[in-house]
Amino acid sequence: MSDQRLFAAALLNPDVPCPDGLTAWNDSDPTRRFAVYRNNVIVSLIDALADTFPVTQELVGEEFFRAMAGVFVRQAPPTSAQLVEYGEGLPTFITQFEPASTVPYLADVARLEMLRIRAFHAADADPLTPEQITQALADPTRLPLLQVGCHPSLNVLNSRYAIVSLWAAHQGIGDLASVNPALPEIALVIRVGLEVQVIALPPGGDVLIAGFAAGLPLGEAAGLAIATHPDFDLTAHLALLLRCGALSSFSLPTEVPS
């Protein structure tokens, strides 16, 4: 193992001794200085996770979160110099972290917060204009063949838990005491301008959007959603997606197949 790898491994493992060959400019004890540096590195990474997952931390308390994050940091150190990308593995880690098992929705809340980070840093695109929408809806015979493009920041999370309500309550929207975490919810995450929004998506919306992402035309994507949820309302879903700027392009075939 190279000297750099040995140094990095020692930084994240308090059981590993100070690497050989270190010296201090003022003749102080390099072992003590390395211990301080190691602690600062761990604390900085934990702070970065706390910034990325504020609601996750609030759900379990700062002390528990920082202890859990400390274990995660030592097991999964950053692989990129961009700390904004750090923490993608935390939701999966939470599902395997036994002390967190009493909060079964914690991992999905963390997934939601990670999607918000991705949405914020995603590429930009103009939402559909009213003129584009009017043109696309003008000929009902071609509507099932409509190809729909989603905004680059759009993501969907289908959860067994009330992740949208839990997240909203921690933003001061609604009463946390009235939230039943056991009620399933689908979260739509979208950046509108510079603001990332979290919106509750009715059942079937995740199937519809997955169909769009797979390149299916509107008719086929809607068909899959209806097959999954017989009460699926295509008009209501399209209205919601258009209202929040989640759709960025429509394209129609030049000819209607016979």
Which pLDDT belongs to residue 68?
A: 97
Instruction: Tell which of 103, 134, 167 closes a domain.
Output: 103
In a domain, 111, yes or no: no
Comparison of pLDDT for 41 and 181, the residue scoring more: 181
Average pLDDT over residues 190-204: 94
Which pLDDT belongs to residue 12?
A: 61
Residue 67 and residue 160 share a domain: no
Which pLDDT belongs to residue 1?
A: 47
Beta strands 247-251 and 195-201, pairing class: unpaired
In a domain, 110, yes or no: no
In a domain, 9, yes or no: yes
Instruction: Tell which of 103, 137, 163 closes a domain.
Output: 103
Beta strands 147-150 and 247-251, pairing class: antiparallel
Greatest alpha-carbon pair distance for the chain in Å reads 86
Residue 257 and residue 129 share a domain: yes
In a domain, 109, yes or no: no
- The count of domains in the chain is 2
Residue 243 and residue 130 share a domain: yes
8 Å CB contact between 166 and 105:
yes
Residue 152 and residue 49 share a domain: no
Average pLDDT over residues 100-129: 95
Residue 46 and residue 150 share a domain: no
Please state, as a whole number, how many other Cβ atoms lie within 10 Å of the Cβ of residue 159: 20
Residue 129 and residue 97 share a domain: no
Residue 258 and residue 130 share a domain: yes
Q: Per residue in 22-41, pLDDT tens?
A: 555 555 555 665 555 566 77
Q: Per residue in 73-94, pLDDT tens?
A: 988 888 877 777 789 999 999 9
Reported pTM: 0.85
Residue 141 and residue 87 share a domain: no
Comparison of pLDDT for 240 and 44, the residue scoring more: 240
- Parent domain of 63: 1-103
Instruction: Tell which of 70, 103, 136 closes a domain.
Output: 103
Residue 131 and residue 4 share a domain: no
In a domain, 33, yes or no: yes
| CATH number of the domain residue 238 falls in | 3.90.930
Count the alpha carbons within 13 Å of 73 in the hemisphere toward its beta carbon: 26
8 Å CB contact between 128 and 248:
yes
Question: Phi and psi dihedrals of 249, rounded to 5?
Answer: -160, 145
pLDDT at 105 over 60: yes
* CA dist list (Å): 82 to 44, 86, 119: 13, 7, 16
Question: E strands along 64-151, which residues?
Answer: 147-150
In a domain, 120, yes or no: no
Residue 165 and residue 81 share a domain: no
Residue 215 and residue 130 share a domain: yes
Residue 164 and residue 235 share a domain: yes
